[in-house]
Each structure stands twice: as structure tokens, then as C-alpha cells.
Amino acid sequence: MKHLRSAIQFLTIIPLGKEGDFSPEKMLPYFPLAGLLIGLFLAFFDMIVLQFWPAPVAAVLDTIFLVILTGALHMDGLCDTADGLYGGSTKEKALSIMKDSRAGAIGVVAVICCFALKYAGFLGIESNRMLLLIIVPAYARSGTLFGFRFLNYGRPQGGTGHAFFHQQVKISTFWGMLIPFFLSFLLGWKFILINLCFLTAVVAILTFYKKRMGCITGDMLGAMTEIIEALLFLTGAINI
């Protein structure tokens, strides 16, 4: 349980007493479970706000709630990654831009677009709403495990994600993502869409990172989380 607590403390601002042991290689399997907890909080929050406000207002509040609950950890990574990848002509320049704490125009646009996608997803989800709100954050955190597994870290000298790359991620590390996967069976035909979207997004993002940078960083992992999360919420809102 201490490693689950550490994962929750790393990925959220949820108060769980004193800081747990920081053992990156032991925390990683619990990232999907931490995502499930984020989803449970989100679903509960959504249920409450819908009692007082119409769906458009609830969608905005849900989007803001996710940012607050995660301490804007991933959103900051999205902003820095967009600035770096589209503002730097070389790998070294891109890494330098990502390290700059100031937000550029491209990063701000990326954040706004992500907010818009999540808002649209929250507003459009009708069937299986609570289940989708629970499992999508878990899928998004599961996606980063593939980044840890298949790409090398881009900052050997140190950085937010450096400690997670000391050892290669094993296949057994992925056991946590089986929980949202099996829960997705309850979505009916949307089970296929959600999992297809997830796999496509993971492969597309990692392929882009590989070609553009040949590596990955903590910021890029955060961007990956936000993009997958936004796309899955949007997919959940598909009504055929």
C-alpha cells in the first residue's frame, strides 16, 4: 500500500499523511490505480455539480477540477512540450525550451485546445457517464507506462522523470491497467472505441516522439497523459 500511496501523492494533491517512500520502479505499477482514484473523485464531483448546474457549467467545472486535483502536473507538461517541440528546430533547442518555466504562445494554445476537447467530452457524454469518468483517467496514466517502457529518457543530467528510468520497465509493471480494461467491458459497444482510441493514441504519440526527439521527458509524459485523457473523453461522447 505504501507504493500506491506514493503514486497517489506523486500524481495528485490528495492529502494522505506524511510523504511515502519514493521508489519509482515500485510506484509505476500503481499509476493506473492512482488514475482510478482520480476518476472516482471526478465522478463524485460531477454527480454533485450536476445537481446544481446545467451540463455546460458542469463540464467547465469538471475540467477545472481535474487540473486542481492533479496540481496541474500534466497540464504544465503539455504546455512545455508544445513550446519545445514546435519552437525548437533541434532536439537540444527543444529540450532547452521545455526546461524554461515561462509559457510560450504555442503552449498556451495547446492548453486551451486540451481544455476545449475535455469540455466537449464532458458535455457530450450521456450513457455510462460515471463509468467513463472513472476509467478514462486510469487509461491516461496507463499510457505513460508505454513511454517509460519504449523510449529513453532525454535528460541524463536529471529532470522530473529521471528517477523513473534507472531500470527498464518490465511487462509485469502493466498489471494495473488490466483493471480499467476489464471495466471497459461494461461500456457495451463503446468498449471497442475506447480501447482502439487508447492504442492508436499511444502508438501515434510515441511514434511522433521517437521521430521528433528520439527520447522522452517528464514534460512529454505529462503531455501524453493530457492528450490521451482528452481524446478518450471525446471518444466517450460519440453518439452513433
Per-residue pLDDT tens listing for the chain (240 residues): 788 888 999 999 988 766 656 677 788 999 999 999 999 999 999 999 999 999 999 999 999 999 999 999 999 999 999 999 988 778 989 998 998 888 889 999 999 999 999 999 999 999 999 999 999 999 999 999 999 999 999 876 766 666 777 677 889 999 999 999 999 999 999 999 999 999 999 999 999 999 999 999 999 999 999 999 999 999 999 987
Report which DSSP code applies to 214.
S
Q: What is the pLDDT of residue 164?
A: 76
Q: What is the pLDDT of residue 101?
A: 80
| Cβ neighbours of residue 148 closer than 8 Å, sequence gap 6 or more | 28, 164, 165, 169, 173, 221
Q: What is the pLDDT of residue 176?
A: 94
> Count of H helices and E strands in the chain?
11, 0
Cα–Cα distance measured from residue 11 to residue 35, given in angstroms and rounded to the nearest whole number: 8
Cα–Cα distance measured from residue 119 to residue 101, given in angstroms and rounded to the nearest whole number: 26
Q: What is the dihedral of CA 121, 124, 129, 134, to 10 degrees?
A: 0
What's the domain count of the chain? 1
Is the residue at 22 inside a domain? no
List the Cα angle 31/195/236 in 5-degree steps.
95
Boundaries of domain holding 43: 31-236
Q: What is the pLDDT of residue 199?
A: 97
Please answer whether residues 36 and 138 qualify as being in contact, where contact means their C-beta atoms are separated by less than 8 angstroms.
yes
Nearest to 190 by CA among 146, 139, 224: 139
Is the residue at 25 inside a domain? no
Is the residue at 159 inside a domain? yes
Is the residue at 6 inside a domain? no
